[in-house]
Structure 1
């Protein structure tokens, strides 16, 4: 009995050992349960075109700020000026304005309709925004480029409908307001400003640019258009970049003029227009602003939404080439600006 019991006990332990080995082997080769989630793949970022018309870029320290005329779904968020930010002019975020994306809102500034064509500059430790509202020009202040920009609810020289302001401060500290007056067409004027940047010296006011050349009025419209002035100084000369034709015209384009003095007289370049949408597959390219950074010149502008629709106008940027005397555009450098959604 003892021998047979011993044999039985030995078989029992061998049997248990085989079962354990089989279970271990199956466990090693078993597939993952069906309900175990697969690891998520990294999600590609999603980008959206920036739809700001009459755009302007301002740099403060290491950040670029993009402002412009809101339109479409952006305009439905409120009245004023949204602001987007970037560290490299390529990757944009926003809108990041202090008031629900707005750097200037209707409640804090002059005007209640037609918020167009803002320009931001830094002067005496504050940030100033010159802009259009109610077909008048206002100037607002802020301690931060993100806002909130505010003013006292008044406009500059409201004796005439006027739009598209650009404030230029010369090397000697003299301030000039370049702008468009709606008088027998859209015509560019200039006036010296007072030091408060809130008023002009009316005795210096004069017209400097009207749309008279063939490229500036390709439809022979009775109301010709020259608008969107931007001014810079180089090698003792003053350069005024402007747009011509109605913005709804596919031939809306950009030219420039030069002068020995901010008040003129101004001479238009024989190479105009220097930017035309046909050169890079767009329509209605114009009304922008110049950004000079690290010796490089770039011009931010808007174009039509498509070949069949003007609105909402897209925001793009193109490199400018400056040889010390003449300006031209690097056509292959044009690109549409985008903001990352997530």
Structure 2
């Protein structure tokens, strides 16, 4: 049976949290392991008359008018492209227009498909959102948001491993953070990141729900001598902007700047948790800020140095928020701040980036996101992390019947029992893991 189109199968775009438990269904390149310890110029005909017989002033006026008309005619198609055939825009460089896809285009093979040739996945097709990657002793480790399990099946911080960065093994029933701190409830452990510090030990950054504010998150930190844990949490939050006025914080990511030997943690102030409704609670005016903050830390990765610095905030193009920051310094000395914009439950979610000559900024946004829906057949790519030193990135994307036979089978079963067309079946949101190879040149990055 032919697969339905991606757009017809964006059954999770209703911007709501899933209410059903998530199935477990390994796919190709994915295994489970029991572990006990641990993406010829066109012509334009103008209606303005020939101008050589006119005075210089009038000719200049008409030429200026012609220029405005031409620019308007160029701008309109650019907007239409951004809202429809995203994949037909051609090369990512030069980046001469801003693209955010209001309604993502249906995926299809185009001349620019090789721009995402390095994208691989899904490498993990179960719930593995917000993946973070670190290499240690020849093994790559990916850490991810909780698995949404219930009771004994609940895993706060998931871990998967790979020796070739192609085939990944999930550590079955292994929790890198089996016990949370006294300040947190464990109700929503999100977006972990692991770094190795100077003494050889490891620090796990993550977000969780504080006991005094069950509708919000704060950033926590935990330490371990082993990369897979168990990690022991600090007794107090690492970062917790006032939950009543700021909204708390999520999505921490550690960064070691080899140019200065300074360590930082970048995170998101979770302002949309105080929003007034709509997509991710923050598309109804007044829109609440969701700034990305940079906090310097000592060599141990957890002792704060000074106050955090705001390095970026959302704008109108970003929709309700920016989040999931990750920092990288290229060999040319350019700082890349990767982040996601729009709402994670929708196909509008993306991987964007901004660049600066200094880790503190100012940061300039790229003209096109690194990854959007339809690039490499992806839906809602986001939550990206980059391996230390660059080269490899990991990120999550929506699992659909287009990319996961188990999803398709589940939709078929529901369709058969309810009489609902397969294309109308609403399945819980599952975000699996993809990877890609990143190549940096100046202020641009390619996934070709």
| 1:278 CA displacement | 1.1
Residues in 2 aligned to 1:177 and 1:240: alpha-carbon distance in whole angstroms:
12
Q: 1:191–1:263: 8 Å Cα contact kept in structure 2?
A: no
Within 2, Cα distance between the matches of 1:186 and 1:45?
36
Determine the structure 1 residue equivalent to 2:312.
209
TM-superposed deviation, 1:139: 1.2
Secondary structure of the equivalent of 2:375? helix
Instruction: Give the match for residue 7 of structure 1.
Output: none
Q: Which residue of 2 aligns with 1:102?
A: 175
- The corresponding residue for 1:168 is 255
Once the 2 structures are TM-superposed, how far is the Cα of residue 325 of structure 1 from its aligned partner?
3.6
1:187–1:207 CA contact under 8 A, matched in 2: yes
Question: Which residue pairs with 1:265 in the alignment?
Answer: 362
Contact residue 292 and residue 311 of structure 2 kept, 8 A: yes
CA distance in 2, matches of 1:291, 1:174: 17
Inter-partner Cα distance in structure 2 for 1:284 and 1:80:
23
2:220 aligned partner: 138
Change (3 A) 1:108 1:64: farther
Q: 1:310 to 1:283 in 2, by over 3 A?
A: farther
Distance in 2 separating the partners of 1:245 and 1:76:
33
State yes or no: 1:237 paired with 2:334. yes
Q: Distance in 1 between matches of 2:388 and 2:400?
A: 29
| Superposed displacement of residue 309, structure 1 | 4.2
Output the aligned Cα RMSD: 2.5
- How many Å apart are 1:109 and its aligned residue? 7.7
Q: TM-score under structure 1 normalisation? A: 0.73
Aligned pair in 2 of structure 1 residues 174, 45: CA closer, same or farther (>3 Å)? Answer: closer
Distance between the aligned counterparts of 2:361 and 2:29, measured in 1? 49
- Aligned CA distance change for structure 1 residues 45 and 299 (closer, same or farther; 3 Å): closer
What's the CA shift for 1:321? Answer: 2.8
- Aligned partners of 1:193, 1:310: CA distance in 2, in Å? 38
- The match for 1:249 is 346
**Counterparts of residues 115-194 of structure 1 (less than 5 Å):** 115-123=189-197, 124-134=199-209, 135-160=217-242, 161-171=248-258, 172-183=260-271, 184-194=288-298
Tell me by how many angstroms 1:104 deviates.
1.2
Could you tell me the TM-score, scaled by structure 2's length? 0.56
Deviation at 1:240, TM superposition (A): 0.7
Structure 2: 5+ residue stretches without partners:
1-27, 32-123, 210-216, 243-247, 272-287, 402-425
**Larger fraction in strand:** 1
Higher relative contact order (CA 8 A, sep 6+): 2
| Alpha-carbon shift at residue 169 of structure 1 (Å) | 1.9
**Deviation of 1:45 (Å):** 9.7
**Deviation (angstroms), 1:300:** 0.9
Counterpart for residue 136 of structure 2: 60
> How many corresponding residue pairs?
273
3-state SS of the aligned residue for 1:273? coil
Picking from 288, 292, 297, the partner of 2:384 is: 288
Unaligned runs of 5+ in 1: 1-43, 218-223, 331-342
Partner of 2:393: 299
Q: Is the 1:248–1:310 Cα contact (8 Å) retained in structure 2? A: no
